[in-house]
Structure 1
């Protein structure tokens, strides 16, 4: 995606966030929470979940051989602090804990600009899906 060889998933445009730095086994995504993301009194947990799952998933994808993709399994998330339109930039950093096959384990943490932990995520990923992601049209 960063090299413009793969299509950007529509959810990234819908929520106005995208992948940041990616290296093998590590990726980050960021989002500035807006009122349109709210499910009062704070940002919807679905937005957190998408951001965290994207960071963890991109980390897993970065460690897989070309032509292999993954699917998310068994997400586990915790939300110790709310994210609101006043929070500013939220940054999710995903890392691969175990890049095993057919299942990989990744985690992601979402923090605000001050480094305060907003939420955590651990998830198994089925990393043995031999199919090519869609190419850029």
Structure 2
């Protein structure tokens, strides 16, 4: 018998409209505190923003069967999504009001397999360097015992948002 999973999300334009009016760290703190709805992808994969400070963010995920590939473990795309979210979030947390970013690349190294038996995993993103036009960030995916499961680096382009 098949399994079913249902989830809901809110209009993603709500967060987008806020982004130009406050700093990046304020947007992330509003997401963390529930003052803004999470992006739809968060609901689809069922991961959560857990920590926010300038230059560092942490996302977490409790692996489930819905994250599995055909080999019976969590799909690499889930790893990459968590790592990309953490690295990008770390960059976002440093941005002033009216500035946005987009990922230019993401390099992921998969080190250990993840299954439902792994338990909760955390993606910890930090900014390595931020200039005026680009930023370099890294993210580590770790288990409850802080064993490294995967590592990523990401370059991001920074740009001004259009005036409202």
Name the TM-score, length of structure 2 as normaliser. Answer: 0.76
Distance 1:17 1:131, change over 3 A: farther
Question: Is 1:34 aligned to 2:64, yes or no?
Answer: yes
1:3 CA displacement: 4.5
Other-structure match for 1:135: none
Question: Is 1:10 aligned to 2:59, yes or no?
Answer: no
**Cα distance in structure 2, aligned partners of 1:102 and 1:60:** 12
What RMSD over aligned residues (CA atoms) do the two structures have, in Å?
1.5
State the number of aligned residues: 132
Could you tell me which runs of 5 or more consecutive residues in structure 1 were left unpaired when the two chains were aligned.
133-137
For the pair shown, the structure with the greater C-alpha radius of gyration is 2
Name the TM-score, length of structure 1 as normaliser. Answer: 0.90
Other-structure match for 1:79: 110
Partner of 1:43: helix, strand, or coil? coil
Verify the 8 A CA contact 1:80 1:118 in the aligned structure 2: yes
Could you tell me which runs of 5 or more consecutive residues in structure 2 were left unpaired when the two chains were aligned.
1-30
Q: Higher helix fraction: Structure 1 or Structure 2?
A: 2
**Cα distance in structure 2, aligned partners of 1:3 and 1:41:** 34
Higher relative CO (Cα under 8 Å, sequence separation at least 6) belongs to: 1
1:129 CA displacement: 4.2
Q: Higher strand fraction: Structure 1 or Structure 2?
A: 1
